[in-house]
Amino acid sequence: MISVVRAETEPVTETGVEMLEEMVSIPSVSTQERELGQWLVTRLRGMGFAARRDEVGNVIAFWGSGPREVLLLGHMDTVPGFIPVRREGRQLFGRGAVDAKGPLAAAITAVARQPAGAACRFTIIGAVEEEGSSRGARHLVSRKPPDQLVILEPSGWDAITLGYKGSLKVRYRLSKPMGHGAGPNESAADQAIAFIRKVQDHATAQGDGLGNFERLDARILRFHADHDGFKDTAAMTVGFRLPPNFDVPALQKQLETWAEIAELRFEYADAAVRAEKNTPVVRAFLKGIRDTGGTPRFKMKTGTSDMNILAPVWGCPTLAYGPGDSKLDHTPDEAMDLENFARGVDVLTSALSHLAR
């Protein structure tokens, strides 16, 4: 039995921290991951991995050669917003430190601790464009499914994420002849606001009495209204978070009715996903958290991840795990707690060792 309990006074895993700091120091806003990808391939090869970039820019690295495959999939891209990379106490600040370079660096460090002759092989993938179209994950759907799938997203070192809500993005555009500002007719902006009010009232009514994971959410992501003296226009992007088993076609039909003469463009819709608890990969991570001195917790996330795309297609046991506080995702204060990171590395090391056996 493996026991890797970390004492409070034990120093953090400096090798992994140094790698994370370098990764965070290389900007990689979604669609601009090339520099980080090239650096990461070189770094992985230097650590003993077989590594390459695929046709869309995903970094793919291999460790071991056993008959069973454990695939650990994270993403290299970040949302926009520069945060100066710095350490303050045990905090490492920088865009991507939590979402999701931290979980990816922790997994790389943990896999490199596994014996090369392990009974299973480990595949690490740093995907591109997870923060946008998930192009990297969509490119992988036709590959052979792994035996176990670990999505590298922040859950906290002592928690496992089993589910993510689905997502739908809708673009709204209304263009109409100009009217006088003091006239009786609604402006394009007025009509757009009336539309989103109907949408959000509908979502509130549907979710009455339900938990966060079970209800429909609608949020304006972008809004712009203007005129050129002849045409009055309003445009917005609305993002929906979808609960499990949600009827997307029915929602689309209702939105088209409320939009009236406005144009709607529906972008990709990814269904919610919920993993099973009683699987080999979940049991291994529960053991890994306990080995590291923690009491395991389960989480259901209201956001989305590449799990939404790959788990339903591959049908293999899956979960999401990674050090870091997901409340800091996309915020100006994004920072990785380095003690949290070190414990996450230990959990991953233990869990992967159990899976290899």
Annotated domain spans of the chain: 14-165+273-356, 166-270
User: Which residue in 130, 153, 270, 329 is the catalytic one?
Assistant: 130
Q: Is the pLDDT of residue 14 over 80?
A: no
Please, what is the Cα angle at 130 between 129 and 132, to 5 degrees?
A: 65
Q: Residue 120: beta bridge partners?
A: 68
Separation CA 175–CA 232 (nearest Å): 6
For the chain, what percent of residues have pLDDT higher than 90?
A: 87
Section 145-160 average pLDDT: 98
Section 160-170 average pLDDT: 97
What is the structure's pLDDT at 55? 97
- Asked if 334 and 98 count as a contact pair (C-beta separation under 8 A), the reply is yes
Separation CA 282–CA 123 (nearest Å): 18
Separation CA 157–CA 274 (nearest Å): 20
Q: What is the CATH number of domain 166-270?
A: 3.30.70.360
Predicted confidence (pLDDT) per residue in 105-137, tens digit:
999 999 999 987 777 899 999 999 999 899 999
Q: Is the pLDDT of residue 46 over 60?
A: yes
Asked if 147 is an active-site residue, the reply is no
Q: Is the pLDDT of residue 223 over 70?
A: yes
Asked if 226 is an active-site residue, the reply is no
What is the structure's pLDDT at 8? 38
Predicted confidence (pLDDT) per residue in 281-298, tens digit:
999 999 999 999 999 999
Q: Is the pLDDT of residue 221 over 90?
A: yes
User: Which residue in 21, 33, 69, 77 is the catalytic one?
Assistant: 77
Section 220-233 average pLDDT: 93
- Asked if 156 and 324 count as a contact pair (C-beta separation under 8 A), the reply is yes
Contacts of 351 (CB under 8 A, 6+ apart): 281, 284, 285, 287, 288, 321
Section 184-195 average pLDDT: 90
DSSP H helical ranges for 141-263: 188-206, 248-259
Predicted confidence (pLDDT) per residue in 52-68, tens digit:
999 999 999 999 988 99
What is the structure's pLDDT at 11? 42
Separation CA 344–CA 147 (nearest Å): 22
What is the structure's pLDDT at 209? 87
Please report which helix (H) or strand (E) contains residue 93, including its range. Answer: strand 91-93
Q: Categorize the per-residue pLDDT at 7 as very low, low, confident or very high, splitting at 50, 70 and 90.
A: very low
Which of these CATH numbers, 3.40.630.10, 3.20.20.70, 3.40.50.300, 3.40.640.10, describes 14-165+273-356?
3.40.630.10
